[in-house]
Amino acid sequence: MTTLDYAVLNLQYMSSLSYSFEEFSNDLERTADGIFRRAVPPLCPECGVLMSRNGYNAYCKKYIGGIKMGRYICPCCGESLEDDRSFWEELKKGLFDVLDVFYHQLRFYAVPYQGISAIMKLVFPRGKTTIYDAFTESVEKPYIPPVDYSSIVHYDEQHLKINGTQKFRLTLLDDATGRPIADELYDNKDSETIKAFLAK
């Protein structure tokens, strides 16, 4: 198994991260020099010819480790292909999900981001800005329910003088919350205007 080369694995809590890569990459074999690749090279997606091995691409993540993914090239059309590394992405996501749990617990006890960063140094170094971003990202946006207006509304009219001109401000207010439902400025307040306002 490829090692996750960090003290993270010393933590009981993190033991779930020590699962073997094979769990994620059943179709892949690991060579003696650590390359994940298919036992038999794939067929070219373009022309269907058996592809040739063509070295590897390396992916590293600081404090976690790295992997090498097999590459292939088509001897006919030159098309290139790399093995699927989604298991690597899954592994990283699993780790960062665990870190989010840390941040949530520490924030719950009002540890400032700088303090969390100092603690994380012992486990998995993270800057306070990184922690802040991860925490903010992982906190669900609060759900604000739509306002239910009660069935009782209040009608209000104000007589205003704006630049010497008489204006009328008509307002409908919700009885329960006092929130304005409608609020318009008119030149007069004859019954037609008020009817038009109420009909809106």
Tell me which residues touch Zn ion (CB under 5 A). Answer: 44, 46-47, 74, 76-77, 79
Rounded CA-CA distance 87/22 in Å is 9
Smallest distance from the beta carbon of 76 to Zn ion, in angstroms? 4
Q: Comparing C-alpha atoms, which of 85, 91, 88 is closest to residue 9?
A: 91
Scan for tokens 């198994």, then name that residue.
Answer: 1
Nearer to Zn ion, 70 or 103 (CB): 70
Nearer to Zn ion, 4 or 44 (CB): 44
Q: How far is the CB of 44 from Zn ion (least distance, A)?
A: 3
Q: Residue 38 corresponds to which tokens in the numbers above?
A: 């298919």
Of 47 and 176, nearer to Zn ion (C-beta) is 47
CB of 51 to Zn ion, least distance (A): 7
Tokens (6 digits) for 125: 């170094």
H or E stretch covering 38: strand 35-38
Give SS3 for 164: coil
| Residue number, 7 or 47, with CB nearest to Zn ion | 47
Phi and psi at 61, nearest 5°, equal: -135, 125
Q: Please say which residue, 69 or 74, places its beta carbon nearer to Zn ion.
A: 74
Q: Min. distance of Cβ 71 from Zn ion in angstroms?
A: 14
**Beta carbon of residue 54, minimum distance to Zn ion (angstroms, whole number):** 13
Q: In this structure, how many other beta carbons lie within 10 angstroms of the beta carbon of residue 69?
A: 18
